[in-house]
């Protein structure tokens, strides 16, 4: 069963539309904390995937970052949503929210 913190993270994830991404840092800011690593752990524990799409969360520098099912799968899922990945990075100005 998800913790209260994880539930708050998942509520934020629900608001990320297909074809868009956000960062661990942005989620932490919305929670009023500097808990990037805790956000990553919550995503890794996400029992609602893919309905609550944790693959749409990337690093602040635009790099794809980790994924419970592997980076290759994360890239595949993002590309299916129309997100362009060049040199291992996503343009946050174009695809970020």
pLDDT in 10s for each residue of the chain, 97 residues: 899 999 999 999 999 999 999 999 999 999 987 888 899 899 988 888 888 899 999 999 999 998 888 999 999 999 999 999 999 899 999 999 9
70, 76, 78, 81: CA torsion to nearest 10: -150
- Whole-angstrom Cα distance, residue 92 to residue 84? 10
Give the domain ranges of the chain. 4-95
Catalytic residue among 54, 58, 83, 90: 54
Q: What's this model's pTM, rounded to 2 decimal places?
A: 0.91
Residue 50 contacts residue 86 (beta carbons within 8 Å)? no
For residue 32, indicate whether it is catalytic.
Answer: no
pLDDT at 69: 86
Q: What is the pLDDT of residue 32?
A: 87
Q: Which residue's entry shows tokens 């291992």? A: 88
Could you confirm whether domain 4-95 is CATH 1.10.10.10? yes
């Amino acid at each position: 069963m998800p913790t209260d913190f994880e539930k708050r993270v998942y509520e934020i994830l629900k608001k990320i539309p297909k074809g868009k991404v956000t960062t661990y840092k942005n989620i932490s800011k919305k929670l009023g904390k500097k808990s990037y690593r805790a956000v990553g752990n919550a995503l890794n524990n996400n029992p609602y995937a893919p309905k609550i799409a944790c693959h749409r969360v990337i690093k602040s520098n635009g790099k794809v970052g980790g994924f419970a099912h592997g980076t290759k799968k994360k890239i595949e899922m993002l590309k299916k949503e129309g997100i362009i990945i060049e040199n291992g990075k996503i343009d946050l100005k174009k695809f970020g929210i």
